[in-house]
Amino acid sequence: MSDLHVRIEETRGILERIARDFSPAVFASSLAAEDMVLTDLILKAALPIGIFSLETGRLHKETLEVLDKVTAHYGVEIALFRPQPELVEDYVSKNGLNAFYDSVEMRKGCCYVRKVEPLGRALAGKKAWITGQRRAQSTTRAELAVQEDDASHGMAKFNPLADWSEQDVWEYIRANGVPYNSLHERGYPSIGCEPCTRAIQPGEDIRAGRWWWENPESKECGLHLVDGKLIRIKSVAA
């Protein structure tokens, strides 16, 4: 049995346990490659786990096209949570449309309006949420646990692909015919909002294209932060 096959079975087991013991649970999908692996595992097993995505209003058209690919492939529509229009208007009127380039604080403010606040609404009333984060993605995620206690949202948080490699992700996608974002084929291993994402150069870290004008230590949008700080949420034994 290959190492990947073992990881797949372990991940299936984690997802089944979440569905059984942490209902209602939801999966927060960014529509990136990792998230498509989890989408495939959840939908093929018909697990009672909701799937949603944050439609920030500034995503690439290729990212939005993934929503149609999912519907065509699985017959399921991913729920979308959008920012509150009045919060976007307030941010833009006070700071400008692209103020996130000016400072880390301005960028985090934009991320809060477009991602963090909608995430709070998406997680309301749930017992657990699932992400596609992996330890190998960046230095900020090197100590990522499979199961964490997310006190800020009052629920459990799961990262079922924590120990998967980039190769594992793509081997699974190709072997199972999983739909994915076409930007991945154009040098975008990590994809966020269009103005905050660029293609990477050979040899660069896979998240080097995210907020490329910032230091690596600041490259989190706030979805995985508590009080503005990177969370090493309390790990829970799986």
List phi, psi (to 5°) of 137: -70, -35
Q: Mapping DSSP to helix (H, G, I), strand (E, B) and coil, where does residue 169 land?
A: helix
Which letter does DSSP use for residue 32 in this model?
A: S
Cα–Cα distance, 136 to 115 (Å, whole number): 23
Query: Please, which contacts does 165-171 make with residues 24 or more away whose CB atoms are closer than 8 Å?
Result: 165/134, 165/136, 166/134, 166/136, 166/206, 168/4, 168/7, 169/33, 169/34, 169/37, 169/134, 170/33, 171/4
Catalytic residues: 221
| Angle (CA) 191 67 82, round 5° | 75
Assess contact for 25 and 18: CB atoms under 8 A. Answer: yes
Q: Tell me how far apart the alpha carbons of residues 60 and 230 are, in angstroms, rounded to a whole number.
A: 26
Number of other residues whose CB lies within 10 A of the CB of residue 128: 22
For 194-230, give one letter per residue: b (16+ CB within 10 A) or e.
eebbeebeeeebebbbbbeeeeeeebbbbbbbeeeee
Q: How far is CA 75 from the centre of its chain?
A: 22
